Amino acid sequence: MSVQATTTRAMKMRAVPGARLARLPQVQRLDDAVRRDIEIVSSVLPFKVNNYVLEELIDWDRAPDDPLYRLTFPDRGMLPEPVYEEIAALVGRGAGREELRGAVDRARRQLNPHPGDQLQANVPQSQSGALNGLQHKYRETVLVFPGQGQTCHAYCGYCFRWAQFIGVAELKQAVSGPEQALGYLAQHPEVSDVLFTGGDPMIMSTDRLRAYLAPLLEPRFEHIRNIRFGTKALSYWPYRFTTDDDAEDLLRLMEQASARGRHVAVMAHFSHHRELETDACRQAVRRIRDTGAVIRAQAPLVRHVNDDASVWAQMWRTMTGLGVVPYYMFVERDTGASQYFELPLHRAVSVYRDAISQVSGLERTARGPVMSASPGKVVIDGIVQVAGQDVFCCRFLQARNPDWVGRPFFAKFDEHAVWFDDLKPAFDEPWFWQSDAPAGAGAPL
Ligand SMILES: *Cc1c(COP(=O)(O)O)cnc(C)c1O
Ligand code: SF4
């Protein structure tokens, strides 16, 4: 056992669901109106914090204006005003459960629970039907959603998987065990990357993770070169890698994968530099890196939390100091509380440019702003004038058809556009990939 594990007292997780937030002692110090908003908004959208988030991340002297509070706590602006008014009126006159439930269900349906048709799209087919819980959109990468990994140690207010957390997803996007995923991967030698995602796969016990991971280290899976874990555990529960009962086993498992020649990539979700500043996070980062795994970092750009170039610049600098590689700055998806968190695309372009220009070349590995849209991952490189017209210069970083990757294309400048679907071709209609019928129609090649 390592020195850290023996000298650090184990932290026990205490999770606090949305319904109990208003009663937290820290929240008692906030305004009555804030507490009332917490109660109303958390009856519609899912929230969850834990003792680490409450005690180590949120700065209660600054709440509710603290970025980590904004990241994890309900706010009135997260609901459209009429929805807020309706629920508030029902709660105010002590409406019955049934009546409240009906209004809450209607409110949830208004909040675009399935953005971009992510649940059905990109699910591969087998002879026995759809392989739910797998996504194969880009030739070389398969996403695996383990059934036991479909929750997180705390929830982000902007989460695009929020519908899953409250069970409104008609189609639970998860595999019940490793067999299905392994069977598919064995038949697809073109796949080099497996990305375990969720929710958060690091919510699973090490034994469960091993059931997915260990078989991938066998010779029949030699084509799987890169094994990635999408996780926010470094932000919301770094003890997963330090003092939890099976933390040491998890690190040994990662080490084993590296020793067998696999590249293990922890795709860490960091929204703000403060998440990287706690002792617990730093220790977790160090221990993961000691296994040979590489930590890459990504997050969406969101209002109230990180819509400030200096926050990103500081975050990327802090990462580099810790050996974490900046990867993507995403554009927030149009779901749930998106109206509260979203920024116009032109603002995203300027935050990215302003941030990237402040940092070292080593930190410019962060690409953005990136939208994970239905034809592929689109980055906006900038805004320029072409033939007298303002345009967004766009490019695919990933695409359904590998031939589209890296091809620049132009979209009409639109100061209100917040997402890819708001964009129109600047010159030739339709988009170049739409006239590329055979590949455009297809599943991954
Ligand atoms: C982002 C993403 C990937 C991984 O893309 P990289 O550019 O290789 O990180 C794979 N599949 C889907 C569906 C994605 O959205
Ligand atoms: S960590 Fe990811 S999946 Fe979990 S709540 Fe945040 S955005 Fe959603």
* One-letter-per-residue 3-state SS of 90-159: HHHCCCCHHHHHHHHHHHHHHCCCCHHHCCCCCCCEECCEECCCEEEEECCEEEECEHHHCCCCCCCCCC
The per-residue pLDDT for range 45-74, each reduced to its tens digit, is 999 999 999 999 999 999 999 999 999 999
Give me the pLDDT at residue 336, please. Answer: 78
Pocket lining: 70 vs ligand 1, CB cutoff 6 Å? no
How many beta carbons lie within 10 A of that of residue 64, not counting itself? 18
β-strands 226-231, 263-269: how paired?
Answer: parallel
How many beta carbons lie within 10 A of that of residue 202, not counting itself? 26
Pocket lining: 161 vs ligand 2, CB cutoff 6 Å? yes
Pocket lining: 138 vs ligand 1, CB cutoff 6 Å? yes
Nearest bound ligand to the CA of residue 237: 2
Pocket lining: 284 vs ligand 2, CB cutoff 6 Å? no
For residues 95-103, average pLDDT: 91
Does the pLDDT of residue 371 top 90, yes or no?
Answer: yes
Q: Give the residue, by CA position, lying nearest to ligand 2 atom 7.
A: 159
SS3 (DSSP) at 266: strand
Between 12-16, 26-30, 116-120, the lowest mean confidence (pLDDT) is in 116-120
SS3 (DSSP) at 262: coil
Pocket lining: 199 vs ligand 2, CB cutoff 6 Å? yes
Pocket lining: 150 vs ligand 1, CB cutoff 6 Å? no
Question: What is the four-CA torsion angle of 427, 430, 433, 434, rounded to 10 degrees?
Answer: 180
Q: Give the residue, by CA position, lying nearest to ligand 2 atom 6.
A: 156
In ligand 2, the atom with minimum distance to the C-alpha of 158 is 7
Residue 395: phi and psi, rounded to 5, are -160, 145
- Burial class for 105, CB neighbours closer than 10 Å (0-12, 13-18, 19+): exposed
Q: Considering the chain, what is the average pLDDT of its residues? A: 92
Pocket lining: 275 vs ligand 2, CB cutoff 6 Å? no
The per-residue pLDDT for range 191-229, each reduced to its tens digit, is 999 999 989 999 999 999 999 999 999 999 999 999 999
What does the alpha-carbon distance between residue 266 and residue 247 come to, in Å, rounded to a whole number? 15
The per-residue pLDDT for range 128-158, each reduced to its tens digit, is 888 989 999 999 999 999 999 989 999 999 8
Does the pLDDT of residue 39 top 80, yes or no?
Answer: yes
The per-residue pLDDT for range 9-26, each reduced to its tens digit, is 789 999 999 999 999 999
What does the alpha-carbon distance between residue 390 and residue 345 come to, in Å, rounded to a whole number? 14
For residues 243-272, average pLDDT: 98
Q: Give the residue, by CA position, lying nearest to ligand 1 atom 14.
A: 372
What does the alpha-carbon distance between residue 99 and residue 255 come to, in Å, rounded to a whole number? 53
In ligand 2, the atom with minimum distance to the C-alpha of 151 is 4
193 alpha carbon to ligand 1 midpoint, in Å?
A: 10
The per-residue pLDDT for range 400-437, each reduced to its tens digit, is 999 999 999 999 999 999 999 999 999 989 999 998 65
